[in-house]
């Protein structure tokens, strides 16, 4: 039996690479595993050898101690890899297939899955709808920042790349299909981005940059990205976006300088609950800032997509309300302007095949847009530390040395 190593959350600010058991076709007990899921058989699952598994901003929230994640939780939900074992109930996915694994775990059988709402599957998490690998309160499925990981309901969940050699040539792009590219794209779709749209994306982290690339793919006329990190804003400009430095004041004023009017057709929140203020308050946490700002600057009748993460439990919240996910939103503004809002996990399977085809046929270069940067598994703790300091990169963990030497622009 092969061994296994994985990245684990060991307390606020602390990440370690541990020796862990090789996956079996049953859900085992461990940190964060829902007791009702322990012993759950997975004959419909496969074991995947991780080729590329990415560090996500959602992981970073846990590592900062801003969730109720338990120590020892195995991290990682952005998984691309090779199938090395298939359970007896797997019919179509084969050993040797190179696959993208959506971060949402979905059964394919429940009402929500049948309605393409795979982010809120009813059968994989005993506590509430929706599940993900290596994430707090998501059922306890082991994370994929590892050498090997169990993927349940494989025939439903795995996106098989049609040409393995071609996929390896584009692996840094294709690894973004497990989460951030569909997530950013979903933010734009739900914001109503289309041909000729003007779009403001709050946040120039990887999801915000992926949203910007998605907006361009959807035909937006002008894509404006706001942040207070100069290096991340420079990366947004590198592929044709306009930018707003929110540390210099209200985004509306800078948007007016770009467009001639202080509003956009579509707004996207790619920041989430650790948002900071604007202008003089840019260094202070103000979790409702982005949402309230988007309501102000999105045109009446428009829509706001919210792929940024919001939680119901935040031990580091700025007040008692924020610790429960309760924010002071100017909902009256949204109501008065007849704005639409879409929140929640992106249903990755709704988009990943189409985005795969766009990548394979060179219609988008998402790895360049987000600064994909491969690192060995042992450097994952340093990758987390650098990402936390605002590095304008998307760290791609390479557990088996299969993508060493590849880089994005």
Question: What phi and psi, each to the nearest 5 degrees, are found at residue 172?
Answer: -70, -25
**How many domains, the chain?**
2
Residues 261 and 222 in one domain: yes
Residue 109 has pLDDT above 80, yes or no: yes
User: Which pLDDT does position 282 carry in this prediction?
Assistant: 76
- Residue 306 covered by a domain: yes
Residues 110 and 191 in one domain: no
User: Which pLDDT does position 407 carry in this prediction?
Assistant: 63
Residues 227 and 150 in one domain: no
Residue 281 has pLDDT above 80, yes or no: no
Residues 189 and 319 in one domain: yes
Residue 97 has pLDDT above 90, yes or no: yes
Residue 323 has pLDDT above 60, yes or no: yes
Residues 274 and 167 in one domain: no
Residue 339 has pLDDT above 70, yes or no: yes
Return the sign of the alpha-carbon dihedral for residues 331, 333, 339, 343: negative
Residue 287 has pLDDT above 90, yes or no: no
Average pLDDT over residues 215-241: 97
CATH number of the domain where residue 128 is located: 3.90.180.10
pLDDT in tens, 373-401: 999 999 999 999 999 999 999 999 999 99
Average pLDDT over residues 33-61: 95
pLDDT in tens, 183-207: 999 999 999 999 999 999 999 999 9
Domain that holds residue 373: 5-179+347-398
Other Cβ atoms closer than 10 A to 43: 12
Q: Are 234 and 392 within 8 A, CB to CB?
A: yes
- Residue 63 covered by a domain: yes
Residues 159 and 206 in one domain: no
User: Which pLDDT does position 408 carry in this prediction?
Assistant: 59
Residue 127 has pLDDT above 80, yes or no: yes
Residues 25 and 161 in one domain: yes
Domain boundary among 324, 342, 360: 342
- Residue 388 covered by a domain: yes
- Residue 337 covered by a domain: yes
Angle CA(98)–CA(103)–CA(105) in degrees, nearest 5?
A: 100
> Can you read off the two tokens belonging to residue 212?
């910007």
Domain boundary among 303, 319, 342: 342
pLDDT band for 230, please (50, 70, 90 cuts): very high
Residues 192 and 258 in one domain: yes
Average pLDDT over residues 85-92: 98
Mean pLDDT taken over the chain? 95
Domain boundary among 342, 366, 388: 342
- Residue 406 covered by a domain: no
**131 or 312, which is more confident:** 131
CATH number of the domain where residue 286 is located: 3.40.50.720
pLDDT band for 316, please (50, 70, 90 cuts): confident
Residues 20 and 163 in one domain: yes
- Residue 87 covered by a domain: yes
Other Cβ atoms closer than 10 A to 5: 17
User: Which pLDDT does position 409 carry in this prediction?
Assistant: 47
Question: What phi and psi, each to the nearest 5 degrees, are found at residue 235?
Answer: -65, -40
Residue 276 has pLDDT above 80, yes or no: yes
Residues 168 and 140 in one domain: yes
Residues 361 and 332 in one domain: no
User: Which pLDDT does position 314 carry in this prediction?
Assistant: 85
Residues 322 and 385 in one domain: no
- Residue 115 covered by a domain: yes
Picking from 402, 373, 399, the residue whose alpha carbon sits closest to that of residue 386 is: 373
pLDDT band for 2, please (50, 70, 90 cuts): confident
- Residue 209 covered by a domain: yes
Cα gap 288→332, rounded to integer Å: 14
């Amino acid at each position: 039996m092969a061994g296994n190593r994985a990245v684990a959350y060991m307390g606020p600010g602390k990440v370690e690479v541990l020796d862990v058991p090789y996956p079996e076709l049953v859900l085992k007990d461990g940190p964060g595993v829902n007791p009702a899921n322990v012993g759950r058989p997975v004959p419909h699952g496969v074991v995947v050898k991780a080729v590329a598994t990415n560090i996500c901003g959602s992981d970073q929230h846990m590592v900062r101690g801003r969730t109720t994640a338990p120590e020892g939780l195995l991290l990682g939900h952005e998984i691309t890899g090779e199938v090395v074992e298939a359970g007896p109930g797997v019919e179509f996915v084969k050993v040797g297939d190179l696959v993208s694994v959506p971060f949402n775990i979905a059964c394919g059988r429940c009402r929500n899955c049948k309605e393409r709402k795979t982010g809120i599957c009813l059968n994989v998490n005993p506590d509430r709808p929706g599940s993900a690998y290596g994430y707090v309160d998501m059922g306890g499925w082991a994370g994929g920042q590892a050498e090997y990981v169990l993927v349940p309901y494989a025939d439903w969940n795995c996106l098989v790349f049609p040409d393995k050699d071609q996929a390896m040539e584009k692996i840094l792009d294709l690894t973004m299909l497990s989460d951030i590219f569909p997530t950013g794209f979903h933010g734009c779709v739900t914001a109503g981005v289309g041909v000729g749209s003007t779009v403001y994306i709050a946040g120039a982290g990887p999801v915000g940059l992926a949203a910007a690339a998605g907006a361009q793919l959807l035909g937006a006329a002008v894509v404006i990205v706001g942040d207070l990190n100069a290096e991340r804003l420079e990366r947004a400009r590198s592929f044709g976006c306009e930018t707003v430095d929110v540390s210099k004041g209200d985004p509306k004023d800078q948007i007016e300088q770009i467009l001639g009017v202080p509003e956009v057709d579509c707004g996207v929140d790619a920041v989430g609950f650790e948002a900071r203020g604007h202008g003089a308050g840019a260094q202070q946490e103000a979790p409702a800032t982005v949402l309230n700002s988007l309501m102000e600057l999105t045109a009446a009748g428009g829509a706001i997509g919210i792929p940024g993460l919001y939680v119901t439990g935040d031990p580091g919240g700025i007040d008692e309300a924020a610790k429960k996910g309760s924010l002071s939103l100017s909902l009256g503004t949204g109501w008065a302007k007849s704005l639409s809002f879409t929140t929640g996990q992106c249903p990755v399977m709704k988009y990943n095949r189409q985005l795969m085809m766009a990548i394979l046929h060179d219609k988008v270069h998402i790895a360049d847009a987000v600064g994909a940067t491969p690192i060995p598994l042992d450097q994952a703790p340093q990758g987390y530390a650098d990402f936390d300091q605002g590095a304008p990169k998307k760290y791609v963990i390479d557990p088996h040395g299969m993508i060493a030497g590849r880089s994005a622009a």
